[in-house]
């Protein structure tokens, strides 16, 4: 057992090794990026599995999405054999369009996943061509020294695949996101016979989804959710709106079937849903005659005949259900007696935004149904009985928990050991674990971090604009503009602008006057002969203004001192 491995730097032997590392996805739910390396230390070839995003939290104001920092593998991109995608969720493929140009490697994916990435490329208008090789379900491909076999599983999206990654050093099974759903509605059930065969072949290591490792039992099926939704929709007295993850094609089909069965008309609102529906039709997961009306037709339908399927289950402010809740949607309104079903799980960190949307709907008289009141959502991840079954089939020598916060990884490792697994490793992103030849150990550490899509730009985390905006949101900014002579004499009264700072202190004194007094005191304290050092003056004013505001308010704002030196007329 090695849950918190000690890092051991290796001595530089030249033999072939198999190593594993994550640049995202360990200790968090989202931003999945995993690397397998094979070969000698100074000439490894790399396989990347997934390239996902996560979503910003309260400490990342203004950021649209969070992306992984790939500086390690970009530095090795000549040795990157390819990128394999396990499924089409944003936390596994959402960074491909932004970051693939820095990698330039081949991409391998099953048809639905490939279709989703290509459709998103068209939506964003990116002028790049992704070299995607479509691999059939349960197919196989060679990526450099890696023999990769796709294994069909179940999840909340079509075509989720585990990966049997074979190398001369051994076989690793990378689960991706999965569950053992016997009634997935869309696609086939998990390929259990292939899973058992892989286990009999011999599994060196298993890198395993940990999201539900703390929950006993088995996950309910999509079929059970479909039947529950059908009853709720049939019983609704007026309009009924269902919001869910747009990628959940099984849930889309369940809502559409329920609407049809009770003589209602389906209306779809949200660009992401339209895109997923089209890809699902193109790949055969929805019938070619799948019909629905656009949001502009919603008001044409009688109140007791309308079923709305819309985006925004995570409280996204620009999504359809949020705009409806604020009565800002151009085509759709809900009111007293209507029903809104949140057919989704709230992703950790989104609780406040989802709560705001639900409260706004309730304030308009809309009845809210969540998974706390009815079976309207099931997880796409394995609970403990499913994990036990998978470990029994695979019988891996080593388990590396992934896709979960620290407590999930720890619980998954504990369960694996209870199932007879010899070694488990709870890693941090950047830890490089040697899997073969033994003994297994963390031998190196790669740089990791976060990038942000900020409007049209990709910006860094450290000392970047997102971090600066967070600081602004806490303590505001004071801007001081000074006009000085070359000798450092003040030529006009300083201009002071305070944003996000109280206008008066606790005794009612004007905060601008406090700043001006601090500037005046600074100049009085500096002998005239030393004022010609403009940089020194700027730093002294910065410190005195920041200190004066801190003394009056109890917070240290961002302070900017702008100096204009006016040359004497001659």
Q: Where is 73: in which H helix or E strand?
A: helix 71-74
- pLDDT for position 65: 86
- pLDDT for position 340: 98
Q: For helices 384-394 and 406-418, what crossing angle results, to 10°?
A: 50
Which two three-digit tokens encode residue 436?
Answer: 């073969």
What is the pTM assigned to this prediction?
A: 0.88
- pLDDT for position 12: 46
Nearest Cα residue to 228 out of 290, 180, 183, 292:
183
Tell me where in the chain the CATH 3.10.20.580 domain(s) lie.
476-566
What superfamily does domain 222-369 belong to in CATH?
Metallo-hydrolase/oxidoreductase (3.40.50.10710)
**Which of the four CATH numbers 3.30.1220.10, 2.40.50.140, 3.40.50.300, 3.10.20.580 does domain 476-566 have?**
3.10.20.580
- pLDDT for position 455: 83
Contact 52, 91 (CB under 8 A): yes
Q: For 17-217+379-455, CATH number? A: 3.60.15.10
Contact 414, 4 (CB under 8 A): no
Give the whole-angstrom CA distance, residue 103 versus residue 73: 8
Tell me where in the chain the CATH 3.60.15.10 domain(s) lie.
17-217+379-455
Tell me where in the chain the CATH 3.40.50.10710 domain(s) lie.
222-369
**Bridge partners for 243 per DSSP:** 310, 342
| Per-run averaged pLDDT (10 residues), the chain, 570 residues | 53 78 93 97 96 84 87 95 97 95 97 95 76 97 98 97 97 97 94 98 98 95 96 96 96 97 96 95 96 94 96 92 96 96 89 95 97 95 98 98 96 98 97 95 94 85 77 89 90 93 93 95 91 91 95 94 81
């Amino acid at each position: 057992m090695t849950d918190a491995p000690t890092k051991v730097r290796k001595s530089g032997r030249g033999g072939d090794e198999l190593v594993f590392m994550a640049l995202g996805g360990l200790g968090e739910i989202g931003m999945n990026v995993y690397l397998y390396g094979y070969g000698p230390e100074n000439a490894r070839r790399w396989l990347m599995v997934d390239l996902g995003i996560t979503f910003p939290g309260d400490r990342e104001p203004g950021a649209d999405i969070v992306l992984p920092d790939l500086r390690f593998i970009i530095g090795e991109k000549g040795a990157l054999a390819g990128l394999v995608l396990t499924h089409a969720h944003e936390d596994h493929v959402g960074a491909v369009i932004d970051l693939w140009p820095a990698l330039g490697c081949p991409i391998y994916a099953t048809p639905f996943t490939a279709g989703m990435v290509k459709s998103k490329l068209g939506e964003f208008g990116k002028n790049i061509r992704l070299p995607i090789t479509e691999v059939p379900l349960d197919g196989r491909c060679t990526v450099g020294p890696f023999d990769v076999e796709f294994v069909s599983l179940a999840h909340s999206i079509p075509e989720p695949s585990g990966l049997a990654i074979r190398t001369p050093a051994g076989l690793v099974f990378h689960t991706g996101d999965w569950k053992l759903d016997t009634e997935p509605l869309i696609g086939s059930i998990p390929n259990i016979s292939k899973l058992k065969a892989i286990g009999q072949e011999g599994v060196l290591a298993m890198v395993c989804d940990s999201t539900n490792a703390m929950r006993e039992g088995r996950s309910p099926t999509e079929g059970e959710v479909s039947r529950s939704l059908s009853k709720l929709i049939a019983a609704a007295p007026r309009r009924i709106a269902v919001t869910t993850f747009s990628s959940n094609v099984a849930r889309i089909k369940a809502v559409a079937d329920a609407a049809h069965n009770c003589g209602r008309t389906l209306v779809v609102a949200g660009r992401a849903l339209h895109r997923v529906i089209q890809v699902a039709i193109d790949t055969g997961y929805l019938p070619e005659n799948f019909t629905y009306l656009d949001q502009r037709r919603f008001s044409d339908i009688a109140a007791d005949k309308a079923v709305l399927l819309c985006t925004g289950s995570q409280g996204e402010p620009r999504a359809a259900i949020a705009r409806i809740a604020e009565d800002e949607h151009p085509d759709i309104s809900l009111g007293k007696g209507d029903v809104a079903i949140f057919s989704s799980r709230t992703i950790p960190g989104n609780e406040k935004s989802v709560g705001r949307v639900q409260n706004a709907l309730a304030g308009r008289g809309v009845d809210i149904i969540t998974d706390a009141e009815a079976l309207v959502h099931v997880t796409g991840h394995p609970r403990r009985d499913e994990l036990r079954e998978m470990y029994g089939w695979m019988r891996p020598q080593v388990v590396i928990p992934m896709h979960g916060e620290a407590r999930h990884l720890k619980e998954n490792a504990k369960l694996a050991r209870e199932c007879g697994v010899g070694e488990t490793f709870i890693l941090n992103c950047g830890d490089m674990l040697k899997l073969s030849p033994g003994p297994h150990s963390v031998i190196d550490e790669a740089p990791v971090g976060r990038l942000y899509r900020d409007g049209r730009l990709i910006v860094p985390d450290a000392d970047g604009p997102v971090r600066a905006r967070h600081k602004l949101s806490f303590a505001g900014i004071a801007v001081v503009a000074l006009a000085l002579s070359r000798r450092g004499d003040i030529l006009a009264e300083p201009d002071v602008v305070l944003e996000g700072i109280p206008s008066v202190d606790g005794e009612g004194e004007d905060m601008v006057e406090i700043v001006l007094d601090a500037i005046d005191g600074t100049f009085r304290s500096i002998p005239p002969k030393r004022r010609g050092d403009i940089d020194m003056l700027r730093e002294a004013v910065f410190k005195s203004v920041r200190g004066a505001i801190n003394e009056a308010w109890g917070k240290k704002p961002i302070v900017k001192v702008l100096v204009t030196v006016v040359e004497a007329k001659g």
